[in-house]
Structure 1
Amino acid sequence: MSVHADPNELVTEEDWARHRREMFIGLPPGLEGKDLPDVLLEHQKELLQATALYNLVVTDKSRRVGATWGVGADAVLTAGSARTEGGMDVLYLGYNLDMAREFIDCCGMWARAFAPACSEVQEFLFVEQGEKGEEKAIKAFRITFASGFEITALSSKPRSLRGRQGYVILDEFAFHDDAEELLKAAMALLIWGGKVLVISTHNGVDNPFNQLIEDIRAGKRPGKVVRVTFDDALHNGLYQRVCLKTGKEWSPESEATWRAGIYKTYGAGADEELRCIPSQSAGSYLPRTLIQARMHEHIPVIRWKSPAGFVDWPEGLRIEEVRDFCDEQLKPLLARLDPRLRSCLGQDFGRTGDLSVIHPMQIRADLSRITPFLLELRDVPFESQKQILFYIIDELPRFSHAALDATGNGAFLAEVCRQKCGPAKVTEVKLSTTWYLLNMPKLKAAFEDGTIELPLDDDVMTDYRAVQMTKGIAKVPDNARSVGVDGFERHGDAAPAGALAIFASEQDSGEVGAGTTGAQRPSSGVMDDYAGGFGTIDSRADLSDFTRM
């Protein structure tokens, strides 16, 4: 069973039980749900692998999936190691003293399991400066190791980190009273080789925690985001581990019933608490003033609607009509492009109801992007769209990549373009929630950094203003409709085209005619569902998907 659905489409209890039964088909009798040789579950391993490779790691997680418990092992191994082996002090900050005590007890358990020379858990008074410079004593906990390092668990105060150095763990960061200042204080430890791990469930889309995640996904901060939903953890064996601890008998049916009960308990809060979807805020994703600041009068919008009955014209006449349009409307604009710059494009596909929008770009040496024009096609047959797209690609200097909407009918155009240019030059993008999750922050960052240009056009403004936060994902909602200057309906079509163009501009795939042959790209079943097999996107499936099946 494989489910690739919208987050709004709930997985039933029967669906989950069937999925879990299918996972164990082929195992020897009696091993179903009982083969748990690893101490850490897969999502806990993934988190520890990330902290080993990155100085800044952020995990947005479901409630009670064991993330902090797994991190306790990382803390003990770090503090118990010699400096030459990467050892350092570990500083844990939860938002209250109970969290601090729970974490230090967890570390004590791991310390006994790993058997390094260490002290028992110590309770002591940590002296810090108050807001007015006075000295204050707060309760804290620690474990010291023969390595000379220690794990210290404190309550949430940014000034607790002043003068300290090591590996900082900020737990349930979204719920700290002064999260922004706490993050600033933690970042200072990176200067001298420290590490920062930020763990939390979500607490609203405008919370500093979600903003941090957006910054990393947009490439504005270096780091790694590890996402763990409740269903991810279940898939990795969370309920089996619960049964192992409580002595209950595991079965697909009992897990499905337990899962359904947990979701029912959280009710309307399940999206944020279990599915890692921050609660929405009101308003458009991109402010009007920000969009208008990136608009320029010199960039034209070319709009072409095929003549009445065009789809039934003889093939030769259709080809000639399209060629005349391209030569008259597009060729002069394409001829003005800088031959020294690399070119790319994105296309949001539409056939009858929605527009097809083609957004070409050139990339300057400073990585800002030039938009020579925007092309809108309405009610243009498939073969004619192919002719227009190929015309543009053939005229683009140093063409490097095209990212094409392969959702629904767009799959045809994306596929023939891939066949023309080679798989290294074309990404067939199925516009899933995961694609939006990973790429809309990059579009927003381009607006904020001033590295995107748009035509000064009211319809284009309306399209970008249509992007809203839906279940924590920035996208054009299904019901977002407007009427353009031509009197026809629009569905925010220019905005996905711009996001696809930004995506295309970031692909490192060489250039047509520059000695590359478009070698076949690796493909995985999950990746093919939304990116044409191009391994540039995190392989985690859709937010509500059953992953790794």
Structure 2
Amino acid sequence: MTAVLLPYQQQWIADTAQVKVCEKSRRVGLSWGEAANSALEAAKQGGQDTWYLGYSQDMAQEFIRDCAWWAGHYQIAAEAMEQIVVEDEDRDILAYRINFASGNRITALSSSPRNLRGKQGRVVIDEAAFHPDLPDLLKSAFALLIWGGSVSIISTHFGVDNPFADLVNDIRAGKKPYSLHRITFDEAIEQGLCQRVFAASKRIWSPEAQATWAEEIRAIYRPNDAEELDCVPSNSTGAYLSRALIESRMSSDCKVLRYTCAEGFDQLPDHVRATHAEEWLEREVAPLLATLPRTARSSIGMDFGRSGDLSVLIPLLEMQGLERVNPFLVEMRNVPFKQQEQIVFWITDRLPRFGYGAFDARGNGQYLAEVAMQRYGSSSIAQVMLTQNWYLENMPKLKAAFEDGTLASMPKDRDILDDLRAITVVKGIPRIPEGKTKTGQGQQRHGDAAVALCLAWFASNQGGGSIEYIEVPLGGYSTGQAAPSNFMRPTTSLDLPQIERRGDW
């Protein structure tokens, strides 16, 4: 038997969060699904009233009619829709209502915040982006939560600077503890929207007919189809992070360390390459590591590149006040795989209280991500496939860290600034777009530091494995020598054999 509701409608109804939000395409039937939920809630003994707020009278009437249809579908005793007048201190308000045998009711009001004064129950705010005063409306709605109510916020986007877009971004950034749903036109089609439309209009469905129908709908909405159908707020093609915001977190005390290998370096003998990298680490990195507070918890993010893009390694230290600082950043250009492994392990072994690392595991980066996991354990290393969904979930959290100062410092450097400014919103997702940029020296970049920083921020918010540490000195050693005693080194049985072989590069 075919379900009446499509999967995304079922998921919305099944979500029992006190506050839930959905950014959606036009005409995917989510309000109709919400009407199904409202009718069920009103029919229950011990259920709740529902207060529906659309931005127009037509929306109010349509929602109440949908609730009445669902009451009939459920064979629930309910009165016919009635038109009522709600007295207000400024003017009387026209509203629509259905009363149920349970004693509960569904009432559709206009969008004025004062309409919710003294009310209890569930609040549904439909097409929230189009309400004239959404922030005040939400304040009034949230007052109902104290007595066990709930708030459902549904909308298509209406511009990147709209309060609804801000609300969605705050949820993704972790600033608001609300449940978030996203339904694009294409996702709705994949879950059966076109078949449902064709069945209702008595048309014969086929894959070809569906493709034609989808293109016809897109043609109707162009040039605004991205916003109307794909959940992409308009005017969202600029830089995701402003220059002023980035520079406010930059410090000249944080360093960028650049290690570049000449052409043909990868053809040199193993011991020559290892010695060259070791000498650079001792000269450039060791003095910085010696200044790090040994009580800070550290994490790393690594964006991988080999022949074209850079590899960027970013450590973050979590300080006593929970702010994160980036004491230095390592860029590697044209560095062989084995030396990248050598550098990453050398630095990570010496970071204070290392807890977690996130590695770009796409393409050739999968090798380094895998050996890091084998060295430090799967509970301490994330092998990240940088998908659109990963960016969608994690880039807003990085932006929030810039805004609230949780990311307290990072290197003051023109190339790092350019990398971070390269983050743009592509089809509603903040990410590094395709294409390359060049530095003032004509060298190629592709937002590498921005990706590494996002990975590092992700890593800094993970739990990390149960790695115990001992103190050993900072400096190199060869096979058979006693271990140095001034760096922090993992001592788990899983990792120790590989660490003891460090002199055998």
For Structure 1 versus Structure 2, the TM-score category normalised by the shorter chain is 0.7 to 0.9
Between the aligned partners of 1:480 and 1:194, the Cα distance in structure 2 is 50
CA deviations over 1:406-439 (Å, ceiling 9, x no partner): 2333222222222322332222222222222111
Q: Provide the residue aligned with 2:157 in structure 1.
A: 202
Q: Which residue of 2 aligns with 1:49?
A: 14
Q: Which of 30, 44, 53 is the aligned partner of 1:93?
A: 53
RMSD of aligned alpha carbons = 2.2
Q: Deviations over 1:205-239 (max 9, x none)?
A: 22111111110111100011111111222222222
Distance 2:64 2:313 in 1: 56
Letter in 2 for 1:79: A
Kindly tell me the number of residue pairs found equivalent between the two proteins.
Answer: 472
State the distance in 1 between where 2:3 and 2:432 align.
42
Structure 2 Cα separation of the partners of residues 180 and 491 of structure 1: 38
| Distance in 2 of aligned mates of 1:379 and 1:289 | 32
Name 2:310's counterpart in structure 1: 355
Q: Which amino acid in 2 is paired with 1:454?
A: M
Asked whether the equivalents of residues 422 and 517 of structure 1 are also in contact (C-alpha less than 8 Å), the reply is no
- In the TM superposition, 1:174-213 aligns within 5 A as 174-213=129-168
CA contact (8 A) 2:377 2:465 kept: no
2:86 alignment counterpart: 126
Superposition TM-score, scaled by structure 2 size: 0.88
The reply on whether 1:223 has 2:167 as its aligned counterpart is: no
Distance apart, 1:460 and its partner CA: 1.9
Equivalent position SS for 2:369: helix
Comparing 334-343 with 167-176, which one deviates more in the overlay?
334-343
Residues 191, 482 of structure 1: alpha-carbon distance in 2 compared, 3 angstrom cutoff: farther
Match of 2:75 in 1: 115
> Match of 1:189, as an amino acid?
L
Q: Which amino acid aligns with 1:320?
A: T
1:104 alignment counterpart: 64
Tell me how far 1:403 sits from its aligned partner. Answer: 1.1
Tell which deviates more after alignment, 418-427 or 433-442: 418-427
SS of 1:434 mapped into structure 2: helix
Query: Which one of 417, 426, 429 corresponds to residue 470 of structure 1?
Result: 426
CA distance in 2, matches of 1:246, 1:339: 69
> TM-score, with normalisation over the residues of structure 1?
0.81
**Would the aligned equivalents of 1:279 and 1:471 in 2 still touch at CA under 8 Å?**
no
Task: Specify which structure has the bigger relative contact order, considering alpha-carbon pairs within 8 angstroms and separated by 6 or more residues.
Answer: 1
Residues 146 and 365 (structure 1), Cα distance of their counterparts in 2 relative to 1, 3 Å cut: farther
Q: Deviations over 1:161-196 (max 9, x none)?
A: 222222111111112222232223223322332211
CA distance in 1: counterparts of 2:148 and 2:332, whole angstroms: 53
Structural mapping, 1:357-372, within 5 Å: 357-372=312-327
Q: Which runs of 5+ in 2 are unaligned?
A: 470-490, 495-505
Contact 1:398 1:511 in 2 (8 A): no
CA distance in 1: counterparts of 2:330 and 2:422, whole angstroms: 19
User: Which residue in 2 is equivalent to 1:67?
Assistant: 30
Whole-angstrom CA distance in 2 between matches of 1:268 and 1:516: 58
Aligned to 1:458: 414
Moved over 6 A (4+): 514-518
Name the structure 2 match of 1:309.
264
- Partner in structure 2 of residue 263 of structure 1: 218
Instruction: Quote the Cα distance in structure 2 between the aligned partners of 1:227 and 1:283.
Output: 22
Distance 1:92 1:221 in 2: 22
SS at structure 1 position matched to 2:88? strand
- Mean alpha-carbon deviation: is it higher for 54-63 or for 394-403? 394-403
Structure 1: distance between partners of 2:444 and 2:185: 39
Give the conservation status (yes or no) of the 8 Å contact 2:129–2:163: yes
Deviation of 1:344 (Å):
1.0
User: Unpaired segments of 5 or more residues in structure 1?
Assistant: 1-35, 519-549
Q: Of residues 431, 443, 455 in structure 1, which corresponds to 2:398?
A: 443
